[in-house]
Each structure stands twice: as C-alpha cells, then as structure tokens.
Amino acid sequence: MRLGWLRKRKLSSAALILALAIAGCEAASDRNNDSAPSGRNEAISGENVVIGMSLATLQEERWLKDRDIFIAAAEALGAEVQVQAANSNSARQIAQAENMISQGVDVLVIVPHDAAATAVIVEKAHAAGIKVMSYDRLIKDADVDLYVSFDNERVGEMQAEAIVSLVPEGSYAYIGGADSDNNAHLFKQGAFHILQPLIDNGSIRIVYDQFTEDWVPDNARESMEEALLANGRIDAVIAANDGMAGGVIQALTDQGLQGSIPVSGQDAELAALQRIVAGTQAMTVYKPIKKLAERAAELAVRLALNEPVATDKSVHNGKGNVPAILLDPVMVDRTSIDETVVKDGFHKREEIYAGAE
C-alpha cells in the first residue's frame, strides 16, 4: 500500500497508525468476504489515499459529470483526486499518466482514449506498484486490475431494439464510435445481435456502416451526408452516442429530413433529450453515471489500500480476463424521460422541456 508517499514521508507516525488501522480493516474484510463480497457494507477510509484520474477527454457533457461525481465521492471517503484530461490524444494521455505515476499516486483510474495504446500505462503503473482501474472503457492487452463500466453490449442492443420497433423494414445506416475505443465495438456487437436476424431474412439492409474518428459530431455529420448521397434513401440511423446523433440530425436537417428518420443515441445528454422532446431523435441510453462514479471511487480507494474487491463477471481484453463490475443501462424515449433522468436528478425537467410545452 503506497498511500501517497510524498505526504507519508512527513507523517510517519500518523502513517503507522493508519497502516495498523487498515490492517485491522483488511482482517475484518477477509472475515466478512463471503457475506459481503463487494465490501460495500463495510466502512472504509481513504485518508491519505491519492487517486490519479486520467480522462480521455472532457469535451463531452457526460465526462464532466463523471469527473465531478467521482471527485465528490472520493473526497467524501477522505481521498484526494488528481485529474488530467488528454483531449483525445493518446500520447498526451500516456505522458500525463506517467507524470501521475512519478508523483506517487496510490491508484490510477483510466478512461482510455485508445484502448490498445494505453496498455503501456498499466505496465508502467504496475512497475511502480500502482494498481489500475479501467473506468467505463476497457484497456486492451494489459493486466488491468479492475474494470468498472456498464453492460455496453446491452447499450447497443437497446439502441437497435428501439429503432427496429419504429422501422422494422428498410435501409439502415450504422454510425459507430471511435474504432480505437473498445466500447464502440461492444456497442456495435450489441446492435448487430438484434439486427443480424433481420438482415438475414431481408427485412433490413445495412447500406452504410462506419466508425467515427474520435467520436467527433462533425465527423458523424459528414458520414451521414455521405450515406444520403450514396443511397438516396435512408430509413433509420443507429448512432452510437448523443454527440454523434446531433451531427447526424444536423445533416438530416440540412436536407429537410429531421424528424422523419429515427436516430438513436446514448449518454442522455441534455441536448439529446431536448431533441427527443422535439421529435428529431428517437431515443437515448441513460447510463446512471452517479452510480458508476460513486462505485468506482469507493473501489479505487479499496484498490489503493490493497483490500479485496470481489466481482461476479470478467471481460477478456485480449490478454486475459479482467475482473469486472458492469452496471445496467436504461433505455429512454419520449415516454420515459420523467421516470428516468428526471427522477434521478440527472437533468432538470424544465431544462429538458424548455420551449416544448
């Protein structure tokens, strides 16, 4: 257990007391592990724990929420969080993580920009005795200590189920996320679990299928323009997240087609919910970020303290099975906004419905 060695050097007596207290907690955890495998029913103190949080980007609404909720939850446990955002640049993310490792953080929580490139961070962290949590997005080809996310294949299934219910036959465009992001592949796998039987029986034709560099909405808009130009008619669009759905809908609006072609999304962004109310976006997938970030903050502290973290799932990342905790996503359309994102306080009702009622 590292416990922020930069500060511990100045607090050797306090650190000794803390270490003894933690040892007692670990013994209690071992005794109670069968009845409380996640350790969530036991008190935990993150005092003197320093968490390094490496984010791929803060350019989307949801990542700002993740950051703020995670920090608040970690600080409530007594931990300190150092945050760096790479602005969708793998080299920058690796350099930022290396800096946090050199500063002596106790655990790294990483949202990878590039699932494969960030494997080097895990290797360097482990060489320094630092555990690594892969947050929301899976790091590939590395011995990741813990993966905390949502069931991302189920996200893709929800997107496809919603669009198929509206357009059971016709020409589909699939506009996926970044090829470098493992989640984008999981979303697509989930969507095609639903689409493939309909493709096989001839009900649906996939006339356009592209990943989107860096999840950039303008790139999604350009893809939609290409799809319309190449095919003339598109009956439905599965867009992998809300930002890209916005780009797709802009391309449709330019052609006077907004609202006539169902478009999926994900992340329950405010702008997306406003589009759903307006009728230009069919649905989104709400991932209760508060549950994810709070759970991850607690587990990060436990990793830093070398406490056991039990999981009932694992995900293969190309190198081995990574222990995983996967939360359930929630489908949201016009009929379920109030009982989901509004009820949870994720967005305010008056902001979602502004100008619509």
For residue range 171-183, what is the model confidence (pLDDT) as tens digits?
A: 999 999 999 999 9
pLDDT of residue 21 exceeding 80, the answer is no
Spatial strand order in the sheet of 146-150: 80-85, 50-55, 107-110, 131-135, 146-150, 321-327, 313-316
* pTM for this prediction: 0.80
- Kindly tell me if the per-residue pLDDT of 35 is higher than 90: no
How do residues 287-300 score in pLDDT, each as one tens digit?
999 999 999 999 99
What pLDDT, on a 0 to 100 scale, did the predictor assign at position 42?
62
For residue 9, what pLDDT band results from cuts at 50, 70 and 90? very low
pLDDT higher than threshold 90 for residue 204: yes
Which amino acid appears at position 84 of this protein?
Q
H or E element that contains 25:
helix 12-32
CA-CA-CA-CA torsion sign (157, 161, 162, 164):
positive
Only one residue has tokens 């990793």, namely 303
Confidence of residue 2 (pLDDT cuts 50, 70, 90): low
Q: What is the tens place of the pLDDT at every residue in 324-336?
A: 999 999 999 999 9
- In this chain, the answer to whether the domains covering 5-150+289-327 and 152-266 adopt an identical fold is yes
Q: What is the pLDDT of residue 357?
A: 54
CATH architecture of 5-150+289-327: 3-Layer(aba) Sandwich (3.40)
Query: Inter-axis angle of helices 119-127 and 90-102, to 10 degrees?
Result: 10
Architecture of domain 152-266: 3-Layer(aba) Sandwich (3.40)
Query: pLDDT over 70 for what percent of the chain?
Result: 87
Average pLDDT on 299-315 reads 94
Distance CA 137, CA 23 (A): 32
Residue 46: predicted pLDDT? 76
For residues 21-37, average pLDDT? 39
Summarize pLDDT for 238-254 with one digit per residue, the tens.
Answer: 999 999 999 999 999 99
The per-residue pLDDT for range 115-145, each reduced to its tens digit, is 999 999 999 999 999 999 999 999 999 999 9
Tokens 């955002």 sit at which residue?
85
Arithmetic mean of pLDDT, 76-101: 96
Residue 269: band (very low, low, confident or very high) from pLDDT cuts 50, 70, 90: very high
Top-confidence residue, 68 or 44: 68
> DSSP string covering 285-337, please?
EE--HHHHHHHHHHHHHHHHTT-----SEEEE-SSSEEEEEEEPPEEE-TTTT
The SS3 assignment for 169 reads coil
d(CA 190, CA 336): 22
pLDDT at 310: 87
Q: What is the mean pLDDT of residues 293-315?
A: 94
Predicted confidence band of residue 22 (pLDDT cuts 50, 70, 90)? very low
pLDDT at 355 over 90: no
- pLDDT score, position 207: 98
- Give the per-residue pLDDT at 43: 67
CB under 8 Å to 249, separation ≥6 — which residues? Answer: 258, 263, 275, 280, 281
Rounded CA-CA distance 314/108 in Å is: 19
pLDDT at 133: 98
The mean pLDDT value for 27-50 works out to 55
Q: What is the pLDDT of residue 5?
A: 40
Return the percentage of the chain with pLDDT > 90, whole number: 83
Other beta carbons within 10 Å of 177: 26
Q: Calculate the average pLDDT of the chain.
A: 89
Does residue 20 register a pLDDT over 90?
no
Given this model, what pLDDT does residue 7 score? 42
The C-alpha torsion from 326 through 125 and 50 to 289, rounded to 10°, is: -20
For the chain, domain boundaries: 5-150+289-327, 152-266
